[in-house]
Amino acid sequence: MSIKVPEISIVIVGFKSKQYLDSCLTSIKRQSIYNPHTVEVLYIDNGSFDGSVPIIQRLYPWVSTVRNMKNIGYPAALNIGVHYSSGDYILVMNADVVLEKNYLENALKKMKQDNHIAAIACKIYQYDFTASAKTSVFETVGIHAMCDREMLSARGANDFGQLDKQEDIYSVRDICAFYRKSSLLDVKIGDEYFDEDFFLYWEDLDLCWRLHLFGWRVIYSPSLVSYHAAETKNVPLILKIKERERDYFKRNERLMIIKNEFCRNCIGDFFNVFKRLLRPKGFMEFMRLLPSMLKKRWYIMRHKRASAAEMKKWFISSKSKKYLTYKAKHLETYAQFPPTN
């Protein structure tokens, strides 16, 4: 008798996430194609000790759990989940995410349409867990990159149909992202799919940059819908996070550029890129990790398949209408504008 291997692995990373577990796990169990033999769920608790793991073990026995004794960082927790996963496709998500019932079905269909698709970003709306209420306010729809290497999302914008078209994009967000496991294996460096030096934030953008360098596709599909907890509606993320977390943003932005960027693609935007690298915020941490980034860069540049010209297209030109439209407002609210050519 043969054992059926799950086709989809869901990796959830939680930290003090007890209040979100029922909504999150119930949305998985209600998926249109959910079957415990074809969909496995792994919950990685990142050292929170809030009772999440005992609750899951008691009430959700179909979920496998891993308890880290301390917070080892989001990328490292994701790597544990991917390492233990059995599926050909991996959904990584936060514990404070709720899926629409056809998310997995639509994600699977999209992946099987093109073997070159490595990752799919979905429509992620903000969700009011207090009222158990969905909203039409975007949390993110993936990431677009500007020529000055600023990364733009859609947080806080209302959905009025302006993002209902599938397109190739720069990056997904690991809030809720669907990956092809073979692509993760292809771009793995050592034992890491996601860069553990990042600890928190930008590990998804860094991975997608590497996926592009290795010739994979990253797409946004509006047919995939999920919801993410929003503490304060329409407040830019950068104003809410703690000082230490803001340091991770600044530090990891620079680490990602050092690891993945073609020098020749910086020439036209040298001033803006160089200014980012020399920001005082998080500079000492950046310098501490610089040798590790250079070592990883050596590996990436040896194994890359995309040329500098092919990569340059992902960084929207300052002369384009898109650039002027996106940069006219806060970096997290570009999606309030109609699509531009």
Question: pLDDT of 254-304, one tens digit each?
Answer: 899 999 999 888 776 666 666 666 665 667 888 899 999 999 999 999 999
Residue 174 has what pLDDT? 95
Cα separation, 7 vs 23, in Å, equals 23
- Per-residue pLDDT, averaged over 104-119, amounts to 97
Residue 182: other Cβ atoms inside 10 A: 12
Percent of the chain with pLDDT over 70: 86
17, 95 in Cβ contact below 8 A? Answer: yes
Residue 51 has what pLDDT? 92
Residue 249 has what pLDDT? 81
Segment (H or E) for 329: none
pTM of this structure? 0.91
97, 24 in Cβ contact below 8 A? Answer: yes
Residue 156 has what pLDDT? 80
- 28 pLDDT more than 80: yes
Mean of pLDDT over the chain: 87
Query: 7-341 is classed in which CATH architecture?
Result: Alpha-Beta Complex (3.90)
| Domain ranges for the chain | 7-341
CA angle (264, 265, 270) in 5-degree steps: 90
Question: pLDDT of 221-256, one tens digit each?
Answer: 999 999 999 754 444 444 455 666 777 888 888 899
- Per-residue pLDDT, averaged over 42-52, amounts to 93
Query: Tokens standing for 303?
Result: 């194994």
Residue type, 141: V
Q: Which residues contact 227 (CB under 8 A, 6 or more apart)?
A: 97, 98, 99, 100, 124, 125, 126, 127, 134, 135, 139
One DSSP character per residue, 209-278 reads HHHHHTT-EEEEEEEEEEEEE-SSTT--GGGTS-HHHHHHHHHHHHHHHHHH--HHHHGGGHHHHHHHHT
